[in-house]
Each structure stands twice: as C-alpha cells, then as structure tokens.
Amino acid sequence: MRKITVINQKGGTGKTTTAVNLGAALAELGREVLLVDLDPQAGLTESLGVDTADRPTVGELLTGKAEPREAFHALGHLTVLPASPGLAEIEKRILRERPSDYPLALKEALAGLRGFDFAIVDCPPSLGALSLMGMVYSGSLLIPLQTHYMALNGLEKVLGMVKTIRDAGFPMEILGILPCMYDVRTSLSRQVEEHLRETLRDKVFRTVIRQSVSLAEAPARSMDVLSYQPHGRGAEDYRALAQEVLRHG
Amino acid sequence: MGRKTLIPEEKWEGLRHAMEEAGRVKGAARPTGEVGRKAAEGKKEGKGKKKGEKKKKGRKGGKGKGKKNGGKKGKKGKKKGKK
C-alpha cells in the first residue's frame, strides 16, 4: 500500500481538495483508496457527505476504542476514515498519555491494514501532534502550495519539520510540491511556479492545479470534482496528478 | 527590459536551502535561472572573475573541488619549501 500525507502548515492551500480529488482520481483508475481525515475541522469528511453521528471516527481509532473497519465508510473504490470536531480533544489526551511516542499513534492504529492500494492522509493546517502522526504514518509528503507569496513561508516551515523528523530517525521523503490555485492570468502565479521549478526542480509536480470554481462547488454537493464536473478543469488536473503519482511508483 | 520580480530572491534561496536540509533534491540543487545567475555572479565578483557562464559550467563539472585541492597543494608546497 502506498501511503501519502497531504500537509501544509498554512490553511487554504488546497490540502483537503487535493486529498479528496487525488483519491477520487486514483479510485476512478480502479485503485482502492483509503482517505484518512486527520483534521478536527473534518473538512474531508464533510466534503464527501460522510455522516459520523453513530459511528466511530479516527479519534476512537487513535485511542484504541475502535477497530479500523468499524470506522470506515465505503464510497465505491473510495473508503473514508472520518474525523469529528472531538479529535482536537483527543489530540490533547494522546499528548498527555503518551508524550514520548505519540507520533506513532496513527501508524499503530492502522498497522496491518490490507485491501488498499493507497492511503491518503489529510492533515490539519498546523504542524502539531496530529500532523506529526500523519507524517510518521506515511513517510511520504505531498505539499500543496498556493502560488502566492505567503504560501512560501508555510512551505519553508514544513521543510524544517521534515528535517526535524528525519533527524529523529523517522524515514521521510517529499513526494512532491503541488502548485495549486494557479491563475495563469496573474504574473505572481506564473513567477511562483517558474521559480519553484527552478529552485526545487523535480520536487515540484509537473501537474498544476488551476483555479477552478468546480473545485470549490463540489464539496457543497458532497461530491469529489470528478463526479461533480467530470470534464471540468479541476477533474482534468487531478486526473493528471493521479497519473503522475502512479508513474512515481 | 527585465520583468518585475515580485518575490525577493532571498526567499527562493531560503527555500532551496530548506529543501536541501530536508532531504535529497535529485540532481544536486544548484539554482538555475535568475536566482542561480545572481548567486554565481556574487561569488565571481568576490573572487575577481568576470564571466559567469564559463565558471558556472566549470564549477558544475567539479572545477571548484579541483581549485580547492589546488589551493591546498599550493599551501602544502609552500610549507614544504619553508621546511
């Protein structure tokens, strides 16, 4: 199973959109995909319309109160491990109860899981304990980056975190940086993309996620963009990203 | 007419450094283009070199190391001579 953690300290960079739609694009290609929502805001869970009212969520999994299969919500080739707002409290509790090895919590909770080709983890917009668990679980990071100036600060912080985790002995690779919300009409978008490629070379995905209304509209219908607007720009871009991820191996 | 640069070059240099620190950048991440040229020019000015492209190619090919070694050899030679 290939594991990918979608992370960026900055909010609104396209993390949840990328986790959902990359997952959907891989599922469209027949891959079995597990989407893990590690964000207490539960954006991924809500954007796919998963009801968590009577079911355990990732929080119960992390505290050993539920088994993975009890919390899974199947949507065709996509399976969602949902989150709920209570995850914020659970994060604090895990930090109190296992201060030295909390980064391993998700890895342990999902150990031995079979039947999936991909597991994609959506992290909260912070570099706190939950993000750390997500990073350690996969050891492979996809960093969506808004093609704006402020987003570059967030990227630098994530890279610093990667170094810290590697120094602590956990294997960690950067699968790629994904330029998102790209607007070809603005010179800022063009410059950020161009310089990113010059500076970070093959660590930047060839695929660029262009700004698209359909990407913002799809969650309102509890859909991924490939189902919502199959021939739109957003669907096209995420299909291209899925192909690139598959080529990466 | 050069186009207006919207993001300071230091920002890109910082990112390149952060990526190097974070792990491997395949293809040895020496910046290219405007950022790389300016960085190379800065170093050349310091060493009194005039043309950047030749030196840039040379450094990529490992000339830098050779130079360092040459310098060391020179020093060693001098020491030997003194003795």
Q: Residue A95, Cβ neighbours under 10 Å: how many?
A: 14
Q: Classify A82 in phi/psi space as left (phi over 0), alpha (psi -120 to 50) or beta.
A: beta
pLDDT digits (tens, 9 = 90+) for B23-41: 754 443 343 334 334 433 4
Please determine, for the modelled complex, whether the ipTM score is greater than 0.90.
no
In this structure, how many other beta carbons lie within 10 angstroms of the beta carbon of residue B33?
Answer: 13
| Residue found by looking up tokens 């899925």 in the block | A242
> Which residue among A174, A194, A199 places its CB closest to the CB of B23?
A174
Work out the minimum CA distance from B52 to partner chain A, whole angstroms. Answer: 18
Q: Answer whether A16's CB lies under 8 Å from A225's CB.
A: no
pLDDT digits (tens, 9 = 90+) for B11-23: 888 888 898 888 7
Alpha carbon separation from A234 to A50, A217, A221, B2 (Å, rounded): 22, 11, 15, 33
Comparing A2-6, A109-113, B74-78, which segment has the lowest mean pLDDT? B74-78
Instruction: Count Cβ atoms within 10 A of the Cβ of residue B71 and give its class: 0-12 exposed, 13-18 middle, 19 or more buried.
Output: exposed
* B69 touches A at CB < 8 Å: no
What is the 8-class DSSP label of residue A182? B
Cβ within 8 Å, pair A160-B22: yes
What is Dmax (Cα atoms) for chain B?
58
Rounded CA-CA distance A185/A203 in Å is 24
Strand partners of residue A5: A121, A141
How close does chain A come to B62, measured CA to CA in Å?
20
With an 8 Å Cβ cutoff, are B29 and A198 in contact? Answer: no
pTM, whole model, 2 decimals?
Answer: 0.80
List the one residue out of A113, A121, A138, A56 whose CA is nearest residue A90.
A56
Nearest-5° Cα angle at A162, A159 to A165: 155
Q: Residue A34: helix, strand or coil by DSSP?
A: strand
Q: What is the pLDDT of residues A139-159, one digit of tens each?
A: 999 999 998 888 888 888 899
